A = this chain, B = another copy of it.
């Protein structure tokens, strides 16, 4: 990570990753190599700006994620913020810090993952900075997206009469993380087990619950769902589930000044989360309500439009689950249990519900 090698390092990390044609089509006028990148702006759009950081030992460990996964997920978490606004991600910049003496193959693998995720979503990486640090590896990703003017979906627009929905299934990433921490396999082993395929299509041979592991290591931002929700013209609030269903619902409650009632019997539980939770002697809801990093979308639409939105997302192969409703009679997130009991969910977990202290 020395200053002297800056240019050859940039070439090592970014060279040949995205073709000139891909960059041109993406709107790049001047890419990596000058003081800054220059990009074209579409008229009639607004830009959506977000930034996300992952640091070693805090957000990832070598026993839970291979270096390529770290890069993929760092890009994915920032791209997911654009999905949560109903936008189209366009450009990214990467700030990577690594301690002196870091094996450059590790950094290169992280960049491979950053590019794999970026290219999957049509995002052009137009710049960045790679520096040394005294601590663990840190990756900050800034993503710039766009949406037609006035169409970005905020947290603050949920209203009485809205149905609350979630795309896909939650809790899978948290279950996968827990399983990885229990196995405690150093990442070197994972690398050996990996085939040449860029997309880590298969995780065979590493034990049970492979899709939970993939959900943790390679979460897929729901850009297509976000765009379809924006284009529907009827979607109100939208959030991505990075911190768990309870926490994200609370964010909508606070931003919109409404209440949310979630119906226990409507909350979808994926088969593998159910099986894993039972094997651990826990309730699947533990993972769904408090597990984060699934990057599914949580939002609200007027109840009368929910069937049409569900049908539209269904055409795209995206599961739309109505899980509750906006209730402006309170300002909380409540879980209506199957027996009819109403429980206030805690923002930082759901201690009030399970008695478990999330610390």
Contacts and interface: CB of A to CB of B under 8 A. Distances in A.
A147 B95 contact: no
Given A41-B41, A154-B30, A50 B127 contact: yes
Interface string A35-79: 111111111011111111111111100000000000000000000
A131 interface: yes
Given A38-B48, A51-B95, A136 B134 contact: yes
B255 A34 contact: yes
Contact of A36 (B38, B84, B129, B136): B84
A155 interface: yes
B51 A128 contact: yes
Interface residues of A, number: 68
A287 interface: no
Interface stretch (A137-145, A179-187, A204-212, A303-311): A137-145
Copy total for this chain: 2
B97 A51 contact: no
A348 interface: yes
Given A133-B58, A140-B129, A34 B154 contact: yes
Interface in A270-318: none
Given A46-B29, A55-B133, A59-B131, A35 B140 contact: no
A49 B144 contact: yes
A55 B131 contact: yes
A38 B34 contact: no
A4 interface: yes
15 contacts: A36-B87, A38-B46, A38-B49, A38-B85, A40-B47, A41-B45, A50-B127, A51-B93, A51-B128, A52-B129, A53-B95, A55-B131, A58-B131, A97-B135, A134-B136
Interface of A: 3-4, 29-30, 33-43, 45-59, 81-82, 84-85, 87, 91, 93-95, 97, 99, 126-129, 131-136, 138, 140, 142, 144-147, 149, 152, 154-156, 239-240, 243, 255, 348
